[in-house]
């Protein structure tokens, strides 16, 4: 990072006391980083606090602040791979590390914004690029703060959104929002727009791996956002921001726009059209690299993320059913393998269940809060079964969002897929017995809402979903069914859900064919 902004009215002192204020920091910065990146967080925060309280001259302060920022971002980049594929409850060491990292990022953002000639808007001739660098660094630090909260399914810290909006407004006032500082590949405006798009992509509904994919996508295509002067486009893709409010952007179609002149608007219609074209190209056989997408886009889970983003950004829609607040208990069983065992051996099931409190519900699903028991590995997109204290049957659900405020408290949003399920084996090509097949769930269609039967399989398990599939069902009798998939209902990092239809025999048209086949 280059030297930042000088104060022309400041007479730089050179006393031994003030030189000593930054001496320890200079020595530490010359030392190599710790082999364990997390070990650098404490000294980074300590040196930043010392620099804030010191009487270091503005020019030196700006230089040291820039060096601390570069070291902090290097530490962040070294730590971020450790936040991938995490599940709830969050491990204690990750929660401590992310808390320290976010505190550091916020302090950096605040200190860079408070550097002389930024807050008072004074522009020194020849230093416009340095102003852009300083504000760009502040916005990037805040955007990473937001991303980390989403990666660990934690609520965004109070005050982050207003600080981000304020920094961007300052950059626009100084006319430096569209400058790409040296060493960066994006303008400040693109970084800000990336944060906006992430915030309105329902990040609580994405796994950490899916969020990293989204972050990579936004680094390339955040410039497809369209700023609006009022709502001048189709309402379904329009969002509004209240810069003074401590929240992300809201869809205009879902939440009424408050009165006031400070409201900003933007549209995601253009970026949604881009996504639709990329998804069509991927499904036609194009490689992700040719579309400037990460390799993850070529996986079933990656294509599932693209479908969801298209829906979130182009037509978020309104809730179909009102929520009813509740406070009754329920048992939860998570994971496809656990559910399969639970449903196959109802009386002697060894599947682990945990106790939850239903905080609200609608005909489509539940919001639940963990009470007791080991919930197992939980993440967004996982299939679960829930049974309330007044019911005997297990409802099959998918985890739509997850939120964890601390080590012992976390909540889930569950969408009901079916009121029950049948465990089955999906016979693999060339295999002769059910025991060697793939454990799947068959979800019956719900007559009240129509639709078709569905099949739940592990993500990526079906190499050719267009071919016929042989299902072996072990209940009172062993039944063999031949089905074919007709539609992709869900693809994520955990599971895939397909609509299926029976493949009738050309001889008798029967849907079920009992066989005397037993697993070995």
Confidence (pLDDT) at 429: 55
The distance from CA 97 to its chain's CA centroid, rounded to whole angstroms, is 19
HEC states along 214-235? HHHHHHHHHHHCEEECCCCCCH
HEC states along 338-376? HHHHHHHCCCCCCCCCEEEEEEEEECCEEEEEEEECCCC
pLDDT confidence of 236, banded at 50, 70, 90? confident
In a 3-state reduction of DSSP, which class is residue 80? Answer: helix
The residue ranges of every structural domain in the chain are: 16-171, 200-318, 324-418, 422-514
Nearest residue to 512 (alpha-carbon basis) of 485, 476, 484, 472: 472
Q: Per-residue pLDDT tens for 459-518? A: 888 766 667 888 998 877 888 888 888 888 888 888 999 999 887 544 443 333 333 333
Task: List own/partner pairs for 461-470 with CB under 8 A and 24 or more apart.
Answer: 461/426, 461/496, 462/496, 462/498, 465/498, 468/503, 469/426, 469/427, 469/500, 470/426, 470/427
The C-alpha atoms of residue 351 and residue 240 are separated, in whole angstroms, by 45
Confidence (pLDDT) at 424: 93
Q: Per-residue pLDDT tens for 401-440? A: 998 887 778 899 999 999 999 999 998 655 545 455 789 9
The C-alpha atoms of residue 151 and residue 208 are separated, in whole angstroms, by 5
Residue range 138-165: mean pLDDT, rounded: 95
pLDDT at 270 over 70: yes
Q: Please return the burial class of 432, using the count of CB atoms within 10 Å of its CB with bins 0-12, 13-18 and 19+.
A: exposed
pLDDT confidence of 8, banded at 50, 70, 90? very low
Confidence (pLDDT) at 488: 87
CA angle 136/137/140 to nearest 5° reads 85
Q: Match domain 422-514 to its CATH number in 2.40.10, 2.60.40, 3.90.380, 3.40.50.
A: 2.40.10
Q: Which of 94-108, 125-139, 195-209, 266-280 has the lowest mean pLDDT?
A: 125-139
Residue range 212-232: mean pLDDT, rounded: 89
pLDDT confidence of 5, banded at 50, 70, 90? very low
Q: List, in sequence order, every residue forming a beta bridge with 227; answer none if it has no partner.
A: 266
Residue range 444-457: mean pLDDT, rounded: 78
Residue 399: asked if its preceding bond is cis (omega within 30°), the reply is no
Question: How do the residues of the chain divide into helix, strand and coil, expressed in percent and rounded to 5?
Answer: 40, 25, 40
In a 3-state reduction of DSSP, which class is residue 387? Answer: strand
Q: Per-residue pLDDT tens for 85-110? A: 777 777 888 999 999 999 999 999 99
Confidence (pLDDT) at 400: 93
The winner for highest mean pLDDT among 270-284, 325-339, 418-432 is 270-284
Confidence (pLDDT) at 318: 61
Confidence (pLDDT) at 504: 58
Higher pLDDT, 19 or 376: 376
Confidence (pLDDT) at 468: 83
Q: Quick one: fold of 324-418?
A: Thrombin, subunit H (2.40.10)
The answer to whether domain 324-418 and domain 422-514 are alike in fold is yes
């Amino acid at each position: 990072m280059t030297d930042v902004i000088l104060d022309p009215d400041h007479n730089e002192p050179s006393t031994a006391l003030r030189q000593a204020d930054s001496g320890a920091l200079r020595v530490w910065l010359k030392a190599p980083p710790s082999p364990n990146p997390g070990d650098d967080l404490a000294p980074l925060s300590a040196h930043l606090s010392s620099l804030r309280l010191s009487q270091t001259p503005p020019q030196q302060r700006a230089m040291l602040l820039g060096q601390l920022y570069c070291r902090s971002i290097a530490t962040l980049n070294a730590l971020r791979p450790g936040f991938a594929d995490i599940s709830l409850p969050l491990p204690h060491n990750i929660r401590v590390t992310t808390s320290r990292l976010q505190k550091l990022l916020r302090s950096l953002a605040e200190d860079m914004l408070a550097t002389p000639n930024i807050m008072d808007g004074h522009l020194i001739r020849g230093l416009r690029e340095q102003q852009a660098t300083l504000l760009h660094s502040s916005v990037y630090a805040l955007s990473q703060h937001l991303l980390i909260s989403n990666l660990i399914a934690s609520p965004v810290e109070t005050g982050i959104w207003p600080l981000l909006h304020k920094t961007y407004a300052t950059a626009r006032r100084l006319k430096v929002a569209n400058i790409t500082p040296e060493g960066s590949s994006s303008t400040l405006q693109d970084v800000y727009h990336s944060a906006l798009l992430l915030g309105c992509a329902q990040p609580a509904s994405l796994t950490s791996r899916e969020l990293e994919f989204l972050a990579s996508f936004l680094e390339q295509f955040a410039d497809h956002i369209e700023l609006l002067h009022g709502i001048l486009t189709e309402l379904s893709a329009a969002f509004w921001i209240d810069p003074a409010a401590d929240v992300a952007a809201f869809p205009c179609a879902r939440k009424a726009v408050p009165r006031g002149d400070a409201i900003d608007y933007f549209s995601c219609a253009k970026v949604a059209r881009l996504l639709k074209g990329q998804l069509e190209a991927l499904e036609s056989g194009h490689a992700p690299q040719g579309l400037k997408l990460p390799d993850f886009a070529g996986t079933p889970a990656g294509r599932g993320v693209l479908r969801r983003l298209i829906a979130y950004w182009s037509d978020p829609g309104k809730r179909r059913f009102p929520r009813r607040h509740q406070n009754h208990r329920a048992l939860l069983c998570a994971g496809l393998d656990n559910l399969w065992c639970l449903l196959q051996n109802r009386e002697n099931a060894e599947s682990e269940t945990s106790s939850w409190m239903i905080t609200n519900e609608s005909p489509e699903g539940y919001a639940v809060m963990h009470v007791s028991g080991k919930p197992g590995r939980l993440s967004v997109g996982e299939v679960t079964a829930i049974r309330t204290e007044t019911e005997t049957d297990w409802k099959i659900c998918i985890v739509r969002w997850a939120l964890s405020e601390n080590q012992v408290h976390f909540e889930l949003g569950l969408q009901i897929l079916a009121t029950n399920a049948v465990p089955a084996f999906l016979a693999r090509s060339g295999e002769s017995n059910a025991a060697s097949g793939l454990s799947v769930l068959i979800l019956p269609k719900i007559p009240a809402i129509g639709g078709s039967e569905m099949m739940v399989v592990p993500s990526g398990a079906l190499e050719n979903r267009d071919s016929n599939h042989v299902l072996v069902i072990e209940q009172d009798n062993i039944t063999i069914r031949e089905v074919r998939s007709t539609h992709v209902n869900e693809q994520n990092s955990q599971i895939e859900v397909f609509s299926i239809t029976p493949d009738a025999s050309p001889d008798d048209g029967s849907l079920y064919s009992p066989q005397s086949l037993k697993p070995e």
